[in-house]
Structure 1
Amino acid sequence: MPGLQRFAQHLERDIDAVVAGLSQPWNSGVAEGHVNRIKMLKRQMYGRAGFDLLRKRVLLAR
């Protein structure tokens, strides 16, 4: 299974990050959630208005 072999090779190449991700008590989930929300707003606003309106939506959206 070549796809599984490539996946395992990439895991081995980043073994320090994998171990840290599995052993540390903290994660970046909250930050990633905010990034995801901002990307969604950007997709909704694409081609509709300028940066000022996008900025207001990002700051006011929850």
Structure 2
Amino acid sequence: MLTTLSGDRLPEWITEASDADLPGTSSFATGLYSDFDAVTVGLTTDWNSGPVEGVVNRIKMLKRQMFGRVGFPLLRRRVLLA
């Protein structure tokens, strides 16, 4: 469903996963009903937050490299120039 963007098959998958008698999978599947509309939209649209997550990951990496060495002004300069 994730790669083919076929969120319309989600109810079928939830019933199959709930009937599978696997404790983690069945509880996850029943938990999807709590926000069913958002999960369905997430599985049917091609929009994602990958580019934003990449930028956040890069900033966190720069912050970890400089941990305990310098202050915020140099971190800001590295983020803006990188």
TM-score (norm. length: structure 1) = 0.78
User: Which has the larger Rg?
Assistant: 2
- Equivalent in the alignment of 1:56: 77
Give the distance between the partners of 2:55 and 2:48, measured in 1 at CA. 14
Cα deviation, residue 38, structure 1: 0.9
CA shift in 2, pair 1:40/1:9, >3 Å: farther
Q: Aligned residues, how many?
A: 61
**Seq. identity, %:** 66
Cα deviation, residue 9, structure 1: 2.9
Query: What is the Cα-based RMSD across aligned positions, in Å?
Result: 1.5
Which has the higher mean CA deviation after the structures are superposed, 9-18 or 47-56?
9-18
TM-score (norm. length: structure 2) = 0.63
| Higher RCO (C-alpha under 8 Å, 6+ residues apart) | 2
1:10 aligns with 2:31: yes
- Equivalent in the alignment of 2:61: 40
Consecutive aligned runs of 4 or more in structure 1 exceeding 6 Å deviation: none
> Which ranges in structure 1 are unaligned for 5 or more consecutive residues?
none
Query: Which structure shows the bigger proportion of residues in helix conformation?
Result: 1
